Amino acid sequence: MIKVMIYEDNTQLREGLTMLIDGSEGFQVVGSFKNCSNIAYEVGAYKPDVILMDIDMPLVNGIEGLKIIRQVNTDVSILMLTVFDDNKNIFESLQNGANGYLLKKTPPAKLLEYIQEAATGGAPMTASVAAQVLKMFSQINIPSEHDYNLSEREKQVLQLLVKGYSYKLIASEMFIAMDTVRSHIKKIYDKLHVNSKSEAVAKAFRDRIV
């Protein structure tokens, strides 16, 4: 059972998302809220696997909520679900630890797929957003001054993370156990001084590691 939390200030949409997810086999909404005012407590209390996060909310918005969560929890998968597809919001979200970035026009069946993907270590993005991300990173032409002492195996794992592979797919692609994948990823995070997949991917692009 994938436990989901929703942060969305539009009551109708929040209730619609709750009905969709709760009514689908294998999913459970453990909490839904109109802003991120108490997000640290709520995430600790309900222990979700995946959070759907709007950006434009009153009092404490989604980007601020994302920052608060990542100070205390680096494991929960956070998917931004928003109408904004501008570079600033996309980059800020990924930079602060979002695992994926989806637009609200995503069809319901696809949204459920994305939630499932995020729960198993994937980093889903709406196609148009993914294209923008690749374009943003392609414009960063700073040559790498760091190799962070990654082994060839760790670089291979990082390359697959950059391609959006889940832990399960990496294990299958490299013919190694899931525990071995987790071990490699922990070492990669330590060497890159990052706490999430999106931070690792951003750093890999920025510093031309892969």
Task: Give the pLDDT mean for 57-66.
Answer: 93
Highest mean pLDDT among 8-22, 76-90, 196-210: 8-22
Residue 142 in domain: no
Show the DSSP H helices in 73-151 as ranges: 87-95, 108-119, 127-138
Percent of the chain with pLDDT over 90: 60
Q: What is the pLDDT of residue 140?
A: 56
Q: How many whole angstroms separate alpha carbon 106 and alpha carbon 1?
A: 22
4 pLDDT above the threshold of 60 = yes
Q: How many whole angstroms separate alpha carbon 185 and alpha carbon 159?
A: 11
Number of domains in the chain: 2
CATH of the domain at 166: 1.10.10.10
Instruction: Indicate whether 123 and 182 sit together in one domain.
Output: no
Continuous segment of H or E residues that includes residue 29: strand 27-33
| 106-150 residue pLDDT tens | 999 999 999 998 998 888 888 778 777 777 666 655 445 566 889
Q: What is the pLDDT of residue 132?
A: 75
Instruction: Indicate whether 76 and 171 sit together in one domain.
Output: no
Q: How many whole angstroms separate alpha carbon 207 and alpha carbon 210?
A: 9
Instruction: Indicate whether 108 and 172 sit together in one domain.
Output: no
User: Which residue among 136, 169, 184 closes a domain?
Assistant: 136
Continuous segment of H or E residues that includes residue 72: helix 62-72
Look up residue 36 and give its DSSP letter.
S
Q: Which domain holds residue 43?
A: 2-136
Instruction: Indicate whether 33 and 115 sit together in one domain.
Output: yes
| 35-44 residue pLDDT tens | 999 999 999 9
What are the beta bridge partners of residue 31?
Answer: 5
29 pLDDT above the threshold of 90 = yes
In degrees rounded to 5, what are phi and psi of residue 18? -60, -45
Task: Give the pLDDT mean for 143-163.
Answer: 81
User: Which residue among 102, 136, 170 closes a domain?
Assistant: 136
Q: What is the pLDDT of residue 210?
A: 67
Residue 111 C-beta-side C-alpha neighbours within 13 Å: 23
CA angle 30, 19, 50 (to 5 degrees): 40
CATH of the domain at 6: 3.40.50.2300
32 pLDDT above the threshold of 70 = yes
1 pLDDT above the threshold of 70 = yes
* Residue 7 contacts residue 51 (beta carbons within 8 Å): yes
